[in-house]
Amino acid sequence: MLRPFVQVDVFTATPMLGNPLAVVLDANGLDEDTMQRFARWTNLSETTFVLRADAPGASYRVRIYTPMEELPFAGHPSVGTAWALLDAGLVRPQGRRLVQQCGAGLLEVEVDGDGPQRLVSVQAPVPRRSALAPEVIEALPRAIGLVGASVGERPILSDVGARWMLMELGSRAQVRASVPDLELITRLSRATAATGLAVFSFEPAQAVPLELRAFGPASGVPEDPVTGSAQAAVGEWLAAQGRLAALGGRYDASQGHAVGRAGEVRVASPGPGRVQIGGRCCALIRGAVNLAESGT
């Protein structure tokens, strides 16, 4: 059965500078095994499948898969799927608002503008922060090839549907100089049931204050080009520390330079425990994919 399909570049308005996302725009009737196998076949960090909403108030329902597992929430798939549905004319916002149904529940989506300048932002689930074991914290600098480089707050684990170990570094240069030990990051991720490790720097005086890299080898993604869930986790953590007040609770973030991309993420914290991530997108591939319904 041919199903409408689009491949979107997320967190960029310039093709091939963001994070690609495969979107099956009509996945009704597909079983979980088919979804997982197709996500493994695309070999992108995430592939999404759009279904009819079955929760009151939802505009659509989406399931999100990495090559190895389903996620209840992820940022770039949420932004990119909403953008793809708007671009295809399959949903219409009420005012500037959509509601996404996903494994993490019902999440508000805001839409600003239209066409190439359309900016889509999603409300991330409320992050749940927890402590990391001392032996994990001790191993993190080795995991990124920068022994002694951790600064700022003690590294933590933050769960926004995807679970990220968060580690702050002193500068953008340190973030970009990180050399990940993917085998060690895999072991640490499995020990903490984490999606992976996100390292970042926050320099409020810079035009783009935040630089981030995200490593998820245990989930089949050695380095994610641009990672909405990790950006959301970091944004909420910074807000909880009171470090966003001087920026009005919002900032721009950069990610992807280490893998030849230039992702741009808008991050905002409108209140305690709340964080929105957003960006522009563009479509690179449009067509159809042959995926049969379950039992056919």
Q: Residue 4: exposed, middle, or buried by beta-carbon count in 10 A (0-12, 13-18, 19+)?
A: middle
Tokens of 217: 């080898």
To the query of whether residue 293 is one of the catalytic residues in this protein, the response is no
Closest to 120 (Cα-Cα) out of 198, 18, 191 = 18
- Long-range contacts from 186-192, C-beta under 8 angstroms, 24+ separation: 186/217, 186/218, 188/136, 188/139, 188/140, 188/143, 189/165, 189/216, 189/217, 189/218, 189/219, 190/218, 191/133, 191/136, 192/132, 192/133, 192/136, 192/157, 192/163, 192/165
In this predicted structure, what is the pLDDT of residue 273? 87
At residue 33, the pLDDT reads 97
Task: For residue range 208-245, list pLDDT tens digits in order.
Answer: 999 999 999 999 999 999 999 999 999 999 999 999 99
Task: Flag residues of the chain having pLDDT under 50.
Answer: none
CA distances to 77, 90, 140, 262 from 116, in Å: 18, 17, 40, 17
Catalytic residue among 32, 46, 135, 264: 46
Domain architecture of the chain: domains with CATH: 2-124+280-290 (3.10.310.10), 128-272 (3.10.310.10)
Whole-number pLDDT of residue 116: 83
Taking phi over 0 as left and psi of -120 to 50 as alpha, with beta for the rest, 159 belongs to: beta
Tell me the per-residue pLDDT of 136-166, one tens digit each, with 9 for 90 and over: 999 999 999 998 776 678 999 999 999 999 9
> Encoding tokens for residue 43?
């070999």
3-state secondary structure 193-208: CCCEEEEEEECCCCCC
What values do phi and psi take at 143, rounded to 5?
-65, -20
The pLDDT score that the predictor gives to residue 147 is 81
How many angstroms separate the Cα of 163 from the Cα of each of 33, 72, 118, 167? 23, 11, 29, 13
pLDDT value, residue 296: 60
User: Residue 232 has what pLDDT?
Assistant: 98
Indicate the SS3 state at residue 243.
Answer: coil
pLDDT of residue 150: 63
